[in-house]
Amino acid sequence: MLFFDSNSYLAHRKLNAELEKVSEEKAFYIQQISADSKRANDLMSDDDNLERFAREHYLMKRDKEDIYLLIVEE
């Protein structure tokens, strides 16, 4: 005889699937935090790396220097 209540087998399966999904997301974000922390340490420890990052991502430049953007259409 089966009884369906708030502690049913189907509810437990659904909760276990959700728990597994959340655990995978947690592992992913822990890995991302580790990679981002390493990258931040690399940027802050070396001025050349920080300058390269600023030039590539924010198009910063030195005085008396011009930047030309080449856009390649495919």
CA dihedral (6, 10, 16, 17) positive or negative: negative
The one-letter amino acid at 51: E
The number of distinct structural domains making up the chain is: 1
pLDDT in tens, 3-15: 666 678 888 899 9
64 occurs within a structural domain:
no
74 occurs within a structural domain:
no
Note down the domain range covering 53.
9-58
Q: What is the pTM of this model?
A: 0.61
2 occurs within a structural domain:
no
pLDDT score at 40: 92
pLDDT in tens, 27-68: 999 999 999 999 999 989 988 988 888 888 888 888 888 888
pLDDT at residue 2 above 80? no
pLDDT score at 26: 98
